[in-house]
Amino acid sequence: MSETEQNKHPEKESATSRRSLLNKLWILLGIVALAELIGLVFAFFKPRMKRISKAERDAIIVAGPLDSFLPDTVTAFVRGKFYLARLADGGFLALSRSCTHLGCTVPWVAKENKFICPCHSSEFDITGEVISPPAPRALDIYQITIENNIVRVNTSKRKKRSEFTSGQITYPKNT
């Protein structure tokens, strides 16, 4: 064999091995892409587990023991975005902090014993009933449960109401 033929021969082997390496690499990439596609198809048809949002998970707020709420007082719960009002007769109301006029946060003014909206001066009594418009209706309420002398408020559903009625009050059970 001549010297030129020997020099060409190793180049053919390296060119062939490069080409075969690239072919194998393309086949491998094709297999990976096919596996991803199959995974996506299975993920599409797999039923989803219901995701519980943070709001739903934190919907039940433990307000505390009955004895910690004096009659005729209002306690603010920032986390639940509500006020817990204990009425003079011992009943409870969980009132939304949002004004029914434009949704401004309504603070409790203890000196005047009422809620006063800072946006348009709507006023509400301790039961959330409108004293002074422009608010069109009473403050919304949340469901309260009292078990083992512990007050719990379910903030997952706000109940809209047009006015206050005595049926909206939650009383502790006498044990």
Residues of the chain with pLDDT under 50: 1, 175
pLDDT (0 to 100) of residue 55: 56
Task: Give the whole-angstrom CA distance, residue 174 versus residue 109.
Answer: 31
Q: Exposed (0-12), middle (13-18) or buried (19+): which is 63, by Cβ within 10 Å?
A: buried
pLDDT (0 to 100) of residue 108: 93
Name the phi and psi angles at 92, rounded to 5. -120, 145
- CA–chain centroid gap for 131, Å, is 32
**Residues 56-65: tens digit of each pLDDT:** 566 888 889 9
pLDDT (0 to 100) of residue 43: 84
pLDDT (0 to 100) of residue 175: 47
pLDDT (0 to 100) of residue 103: 86
pLDDT (0 to 100) of residue 22: 87
Name the phi and psi angles at 112, rounded to 5. -95, -5
Domain boundaries of the chain, sorted by first residue: 1-47, 54-168
pLDDT (0 to 100) of residue 21: 86
pLDDT (0 to 100) of residue 13: 59
**54-168: which CATH topology?**
Rieske Iron-sulfur Protein (2.102.10)
Note whether 95 and 140 are within 8 A (CB).
Answer: yes
Task: Give the whole-angstrom CA distance, residue 106 versus residue 100.
Answer: 10
**Encoded tokens for 57:** 């998970």
For residues 4-15, one letter each, b for 16 or more C-beta atoms within 10 angstroms of the residue's C-beta and e for the rest, the string is: eeeeeeeeeeee
